[in-house]
């Protein structure tokens, strides 16, 4: 158990910072690594966990604070887990619309029964830059890939991700609903338990 009053989030994404602060509540102040450095480390890991640890080590080193990083993506069963850690740059860094178009093209003749997928979130919390025992949490959100985009909320692959328990796409959920069901919410729930913040 570690007592935290503040930590640095290894992300320059203001939306992710706000989402995380809401999930952790007001007992922990969450600061962005952007306050300390504009440099983003190269994600050279071969797994979500490795990349999360790389990002957290960098953030802890530049800030001198405990650091939290997440590495998230989409793993499609038919594609052997791809796009996986390359989810954000699946279409060579051309953005969400291009990533979605590429995924639909690759899966165009694949039947529903073989379109299973999961969103993955790996969280790594390091007490300091050389922490040999990071706290690791993982959240999985199971669904399948649709044949066409649906919904206007969310980002990334949300319009293509069918959520069976809600009978809609992730992009058709309200932000509040998504924050209760998502892979990131599941990983954060584990982390809050580990930190005794639940």
Residue-level pLDDT, tens digit, the chain, 198 residues? 466 889 999 998 887 888 788 888 888 899 999 999 998 898 899 999 999 999 999 999 999 999 999 999 999 999 999 999 999 999 998 999 999 999 999 999 999 999 999 999 999 999 999 999 999 999 999 999 999 999 999 889 999 999 999 999 999 999 889 988 999 999 999 998 988 775
How buried is residue 138: exposed, middle or buried, by Cβ count under 10 Å (0-12/13-18/19+)? middle
**Is residue 16 marked as binding?**
yes
- Residues in Cβ contact with 168 at an 8 Å cutoff, skipping those fewer than 6 apart: 150, 151, 162
Closest CA to 9 of 1, 85, 28, 46: 28
Note the pLDDT of residue 198.
Answer: 57
Contact between 8 and 60 (Cβ < 8 Å): yes
> Three-state DSSP class for 74?
strand
Q: Tell me how crowded residue 180 is: count the other CB atoms within 10 A of its CB.
A: 11
71 is catalytic: yes
**Is residue 128 marked as binding?**
no
Kind of pairing between the strands at 135-145 and 29-32: unpaired
Task: Using the structure block, give the residue that is written with the tokens 């919390």.
Answer: 125
**Is residue 86 marked as binding?**
no
**Is residue 130 marked as binding?**
no
Q: Which of 71, 92, 130, 196 is catalytic?
A: 71
**Is residue 139 marked as binding?**
no
**Is residue 25 marked as binding?**
no
**Is residue 12 marked as binding?**
yes
What is the distance between the alpha carbons of residues 77 and 55, in angstroms, rounded to a whole number?
Answer: 27
Q: Tell me how crowded residue 194 is: count the other CB atoms within 10 A of its CB.
A: 16
> Which helix (DSSP H) or strand (DSSP E) does residue 124 occupy?
strand 116-126
pTM of this prediction exceeds 0.85? yes
């Amino acid at each position: 158990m570690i007592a935290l009053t503040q930590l640095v989030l290894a992300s320059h994404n203001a939306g992710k910072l706000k989402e995380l602060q809401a999930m952790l509540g007001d007992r922990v102040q969450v600061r962005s690594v952007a306050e300390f450095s504009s440099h983003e480390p190269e994600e050279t890991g071969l797994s979500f966990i490795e990349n999360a640890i790389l990002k957290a080590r960098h953030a802890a080193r530049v800030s001198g604070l405990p650091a939290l990083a997440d590495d998230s993506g989409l793993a499609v069963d038919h594609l052997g887990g791809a796009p996986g850690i390359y989810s954000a740059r699946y279409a060579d860094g051309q953005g969400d619309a291009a990533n979605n178009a590429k995924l639909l093209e690759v899966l165009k003749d694949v039947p529903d029964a073989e379109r299973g997928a999961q969103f993955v979130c790996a969280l790594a919390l390091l007490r300091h830059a050389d922490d040999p025992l990071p706290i690791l949490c993982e959240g999985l959100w199971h669904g399948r890939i649709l044949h066409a985009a649906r919904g206007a909320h969310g980002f990334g692959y949300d319009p293509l991700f069918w959520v069976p328990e809600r009978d809609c796409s992730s992009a058709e959920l309200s932000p509040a609903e998504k924050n209760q069901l998502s892979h990131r919410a599941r990983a954060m729930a584990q982390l809050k338990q580990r930190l005794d913040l639940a």
